[in-house]
Amino acid sequence: MGRIDECTSPLPGEWMKGKLVGSGSFGSVHLAMSKSTGGLFVVKSSQSCDGALALENEAMILESLNSPYVVRCMGIENGRGKSCNVFLEYMAGGSLSDVAQIFAGAFDEDVVRLYSREILHGLKYLHKKGIVHCDLKCKNVLLSSSGNVKLADFGCAKRLKDEGNPVLSTAIGGTPLWMAPEVLRNEGLDFACDIWSLGCTVIEMATGRAPWAAEISDPVAAVLKIACSSERPQFPRHFSSEGLDFLAKCLERDPKRRWSAEQLLNHPFVSGNPMRVSRKGETFSPASTLDDIATYDDTSECNSDCGDESCEGNEFAVRNPFSRCSDERSRNTVKPVCHFESSEFWITVR
């Protein structure tokens, strides 16, 4: 099947570079125009070896993808030595961070719900393809003029598996304030890392500030607190109970208990389905239609042989024989050497 709204890569000399629209550690981003069609796109350019490698990685991953929730790559142009250009789809609305600044710095909860659902569709697609984005935040989510949301900036992305086989990686990149605790502890990379970053991005959308901004002002203290404490970033105080529950599912410090993108798409915060209440008065969200079936007593014991400690004390897993006692997603864990790289300054506190 052909790529959606397929565009061909501009030939050398057949495109013009326009004004600067962004920059980062890899290089710069300019608006560009095709001389043959007059169409607009953006070009990411690098003038360093590390930047060229990041752009080549981004192009390689993007060229293997075909989703309305992921920014489209039109091609790559390698120059001599350190020079590299990657041609990408132009998203007229800019990043969610840019848009938020235009509208009082933050989004209403209804808009956060909408954008969160679109981001989740993108993450679900990536994870099925065996790819972890690794640097999800508002600056890396783009908006079209018609309201379409697409994931962008795959310079730190990693492929955990290729055709079902694990792929080894040597480095982890990202922006520390959005990174999952297990990643900062160098315990490996998994799809759950993106879900933690999604929770941080939701906080960013709702408050107009980076996660942890209210709690931490020192970068070193930030990394230590995220990696080693039992705390989570402060949730928006004005959020609904559904929004708070959604954040709790994303920002679960144990990655094995963190919900997957597919499960979160069924959460009331983004799906519109009602929140359920258990016999003990606790709220929970059905992860599937089977999860709404209650046939066991709250006092029953789990008879599952899953061996997962997360079954203990999990009322919902006990009361529902069809519910998985823990997240049984297959995981391909990579234990790379961690270093903080980012498409911009590694930490931002407003």
CA distance 255 to 6: 37
Q: Is the dihedral of CA 249, 342, 42, 350 positive or negative?
A: positive
Give 88's contacts (C-beta < 8 A, 6+ positions apart): 41, 42, 43, 44, 62, 71, 72, 73, 74, 152
Instruction: Give yes or no: 305 in active site.
Output: no
Q: Which of 50, 110, 135, 153 is catalytic?
A: 135
Query: Considering only CA atoms, which of 45, 40, 12 is closest in space to residue 27?
Result: 45
Which residues are marked as active site? 135
